[in-house]
Structure 1
Amino acid sequence: MQIQSAFNAGMQGLQRASAGITEETININRQTQQNRQQEQDVAVQERSETTPVQTQTATSTQDVTQSLVRMEQQQQQAQANVRSLRTADEMLGSIIDVRV
């Protein structure tokens, strides 16, 4: 395997992991905002003494939990790609040391 392709693979993997982390962060933020809005809607309806609003807290909690799990997976993928970049860097350093 060429060192350049190891660098490219590591960088592409790191970029994918970074994009995945960003996406999951956005999902968590969106879900948190929806949860807050639902809580405000429930509070308003409780004050006006109308029929209680059914909330979807179990579903929203699962969505946030799934996003957190996927974010952890992306973090582990990023760490693995950083390790491959370090290894490729060390190999390149060893080759240069041998040739000089």
Structure 2
Amino acid sequence: MSIRDKNYIITMPDGTRWGIPVEVIAVHHAQYFAKDFDGNTARSLEATWSAFESNSYIIEDWAKNVMTWADVKEEAVRVVASIPADAYHEGWRTGECKIK
């Protein structure tokens, strides 16, 4: 699977997990660096994809240190873990519980 088809998954303080298409991060990155390509965002985006494919840490670094939640929230999708149905039986018996 190409990096272009992947999602950046982040776990929030409340334990929810969110997926943001790497494309959203790539476009943000490319728009910033378009100035290095005479304002050509398409060329900048191709360079961004190349960088992202060779070093996925660039994606995380850009997302965490340059972008904000406001930059991605419209594209974010909550990720729900899928576990086998029989795991719920064990979870019911051994899972953490609270009465509130």
TM value normalised by structure 2: 0.28
Specify which structure has the higher proportion of helix: 1
Where relative contact order (Cα < 8 A, 6+ residues apart) is larger, the structure is 1
Specify which structure has the higher proportion of strand: 2
TM value normalised by structure 1: 0.28
Rg larger in structure: 1
